Amino acid sequence: MAHNLLQGKKGIIFGALDENSIAWKTAERCVQEGAEIVLTNAPIAMRMGEINKLAAACNAPVIPADATSLEDLNNLFTKAMEHFGGKIDFILHSIGMSVNVRKGKPYTDLDYDFFHKGLDVSALSLHRVLQTAYKLDALNEWGSVVALTYIAAQRIFPDYSDMADAKSLLESISRSFGYHYGIKNKVRINTISQSPTRTTAGSGVKGFNGFISYAEKMSPLGNATADQCADYTVTLFSDYTRMVTMQNLFHDGGFSFTGISYPVMEQMEKE
Ligand code: NAI
């Protein structure tokens, strides 16, 4: 059900690859809530993905940008402002990739070129996006930026490997930039720490089936879905959360604060 929470707002959505993507669901929800959006993804992902289908459904232009390229980001923000005829109110950063995870490299045998690449794509890209917007003065006062993260930034999940370090850095950048953009322009910046979710990026992690069902059993409300994540993100883009900034917000059905649950205890007692 829509409530026009984003009526009149304009936003850029990074990271819709296919209909399972968290960014895909968020794009749809933002438009249902009255927003106008621009979609973007890395040029290579757009060739593989189905973004044009989403663009047609959302009546949104697609402007390719590799989030590690300042040139691409400059072009994206400039074109987006031309398209909207003004500044931007919200940004979703829904980007993650680790070559080490993709290639199954264990944490104790990382390739450092891959590690650099992973940090650049998954974490520094948020800084690049924010710095580009800041320098172009592309965001309206009370604008809102959300980036997606995972609890492996705080606790060890062995097969999440170097993505855990990338997520820690991502959360730190959102906090640090949140200060600077807050005092400049009242822009708020937060991360949402989402439950494991079946998407291309999620399913790439070794043992994913194990930890999605473990998280389901550990969370009093069960795992949060991509659609529910989209709903939560809409609230953060709306005017109802104007004073929330520099936070890492767990959207995980209670997983992060559960020590043990009855289903997991029962499972352990069988051993
Ligand atoms: P996804 O695979 O659908 O989305 C990842 C996106 O990153 C893709 O659209 C991909 O094209 C984009 N991307 C990769 N390199 C890029 C680059 N250089 N420039 C621009 N875009 C680039 O998967 P999902 O799960 O929707 O991922 C979105 C975010 O949610 C990621 O940050 C991920 O780490 C995070 N997340 C995912 C969870 C899960 O279990 N699926 C749990 C918690 C957080």
State the CATH number of the domain containing residue 262. 3.40.50.720
- For residue range 34-76, list pLDDT tens digits in order: 999 999 999 988 876 699 999 999 999 999 999 999 999 999 9
- For residue range 136-179, list pLDDT tens digits in order: 999 999 999 999 999 999 999 999 999 999 999 999 999 999 99
Q: Is residue 2 domain-resident? A: no
- For residue range 76-107, list pLDDT tens digits in order: 999 999 999 999 999 999 999 999 999 999 99
Q: Is residue 147 domain-resident? A: yes
Give Cβ neighbours of residue 128 (< 8 Å, ≥ 6 apart).
67, 68, 70, 73
Q: Is residue 162 domain-resident? A: yes
So what's the pLDDT on residue 49? 67
Closest among 177, 170, 141 to 153, alpha carbons compared: 170
Is 80 exceeded by the pLDDT of residue 268?
yes
Q: Is 166 helix (H, G, I), strand (E, B) or coil?
A: helix
Domains identified in the chain, total number:
1
Is 90 exceeded by the pLDDT of residue 203?
no
**Among 71, 95, 252, residue to substitute to test ligand 1 (most atoms within 8 Å of Cβ):** 95
Q: Is the minimum distance from the CB of 32 to ligand 1 under 6 angstroms?
A: no
Is 90 exceeded by the pLDDT of residue 266?
yes
Q: Is residue 3 domain-resident? A: no
Atom of ligand 1 nearest to the CA of 23: 26
Q: Is the minimum distance from the CB of 46 to ligand 1 under 6 angstroms?
A: no
Binding-site residues for NAD(+), in ranges, read: 15, 21-22, 95, 167
Q: Is residue 198 domain-resident? A: yes
Is 90 exceeded by the pLDDT of residue 113?
yes
Ligand 1 geometric centre to CA of 235 (Å): 20
Q: Is residue 4 domain-resident? A: no
Q: Is the minimum distance from the CB of 98 to ligand 1 under 6 angstroms?
A: no
Instruction: Please give the share of the chain, as a percent, with pLDDT higher than 70.
Output: 99
pTM: 0.98
- Domain hosting 189: range is 10-270
Which segments within 126-261 are labelled E, that is strand?
139-149, 188-194, 248-251
Q: Is residue 75 domain-resident? A: yes
Which residues are catalytically annotated? 150, 160
Contact predicate 148/22, CB 8 Å: yes
Q: Is residue 205 domain-resident? A: yes
